[in-house]
Structure 1
Amino acid sequence: MGKKRKHSETEVVANVTKYESAPERPKRTILGWKDKTEEKKEGNDSNTCFRSNDKVLVTCSRRINFRYRHMMLNLVSLLPHCKKENKVESKQSKGSTLNELVELKSCSSCLFFEFFMGSQHMYLFFLISVPDLWMAKCPNGPSVKFLVNAVHTMEELKLTGNHLQGTRPILTFSTNFDKDPHWKLLKEMIMQIFGTPKDQRKSKPYHDHVFVFSIVDSNIWFRNYQISCPQTGASKVDRGDLDKMTLVEVGSRFCLNPIKIFGGSFGGPTLYENPFYVSPNQIHALENRQKAGKYAKRVKAKTRRKMHELSNPVEPDELEEIWKE
Structure 2
Amino acid sequence: MHSVLPLQCRKHLDLYLWMAKCPNGPSVKFLVNAVHTMEELKLTGNHLKGSRPILTFSANFDKDSHWILLKEMLIQIFGTPKGHQKSKPYHDHVFAFSIVDDHIWFRNYQIAVPHNESDKVPRGSLEKMTLVEVGPRFCLNPIKIFGGSFGGPTLYENPFYVSPNQIRALQKKQKTGKYARKVKAKTRRKMHELSNPLEPDEFADMWKE
Q: Using structure 2 for the length normalisation, give the TM-score.
A: 0.91
The amino acid of 1:187's aligned partner reads: K
Distance 1:169 1:306, change over 3 A: same
Cα shift readout 1:100-146 (whole Å, capped 9, x = no counterpart): xxxxxxxx1110111123xxxxxxx4xxx121111011111110000
CA contact (8 A) 1:222 1:254 kept: yes
Distance 1:239 1:231, change over 3 A: farther
Kindly state the Cα deviation for residue 198 of structure 1 after the two structures are TM-superposed.
2.7
Kindly state the Cα deviation for residue 317 of structure 1 after the two structures are TM-superposed.
4.8
Matched, 1:270 2:164: no
CA–CA distance in structure 1, aligned partners of residues 189 and 32 of structure 2: 47
The amino acid of 1:225's aligned partner reads: Y
CA–CA distance in structure 2, aligned partners of residues 209 and 174 of structure 1: 17
Matched, 1:310 2:194: yes
CA contact (8 A) 1:209 1:227 kept: yes
**What is the correspondence of 1:1-325 to structure 2 with a 5 Å cutoff?**
108-117=2-11, 125=12, 129-232=13-116, 236-239=120-123, 241-317=125-201
Kindly state the Cα deviation for residue 281 of structure 1 after the two structures are TM-superposed.
1.1
What SS does the corresponding residue of 2:198 show, helix, strand or coil? Answer: coil
Select the structure that is richer in strand: 2
Cα shift readout 1:265-300 (whole Å, capped 9, x = no counterpart): 111111100001111111111111111111111111
Kindly state the Cα deviation for residue 186 of structure 1 after the two structures are TM-superposed.
0.4
Cα shift readout 1:6-26 (whole Å, capped 9, x = no counterpart): xxxxxxxxxxxxxxxxxxxxx
CA–CA distance in structure 2, aligned partners of residues 158 and 137 of structure 1: 34
Kindly state the Cα deviation for residue 306 of structure 1 after the two structures are TM-superposed.
1.7
CA–CA distance in structure 1, aligned partners of residues 134 and 55 of structure 2: 15
The amino acid of 1:215's aligned partner reads: I
Distance 1:112 1:303, change over 3 A: same
What SS does the corresponding residue of 2:90 show, helix, strand or coil? Answer: strand
Across the aligned residues of Structure 1 and Structure 2, the Cα RMSD in angstroms comes to 2.2
Distance 1:140 1:237, change over 3 A: closer
CA–CA distance in structure 2, aligned partners of residues 322 and 242 of structure 1: 85
CA–CA distance in structure 1, aligned partners of residues 198 and 181 of structure 2: 26
Q: Using structure 1 for the length normalisation, give the TM-score.
A: 0.60
State the aligned residue count. Answer: 209
- For structure 2, which runs of at least 5 residues remain unmatched after alignment? none
What SS does the corresponding residue of 2:82 show, helix, strand or coil? Answer: coil
Which of the pair has the greater relative contact order for Cα pairs under 8 Å at 6+ separation? 2
Select the structure that is richer in helix: 1
CA–CA distance in structure 2, aligned partners of residues 317 and 232 of structure 1: 85
The percentage of counterpart residues that share the same residue type is 76
Distance 1:319 1:148, change over 3 A: closer
CA–CA distance in structure 1, aligned partners of residues 36 and 137 of structure 2: 5
What SS does the corresponding residue of 2:160 show, helix, strand or coil? Answer: coil
CA–CA distance in structure 2, aligned partners of residues 132 and 280 of structure 1: 11
Displacement over 6 Å in runs of 4+: 319-325
The amino acid of 2:5's aligned partner reads: L
Kindly state the Cα deviation for residue 232 of structure 1 after the two structures are TM-superposed.
2.0
Cα shift readout 1:245-275 (whole Å, capped 9, x = no counterpart): 1111111110101000011111111110000
Distance 1:308 1:166, change over 3 A: same
Distance 1:239 1:116, change over 3 A: closer
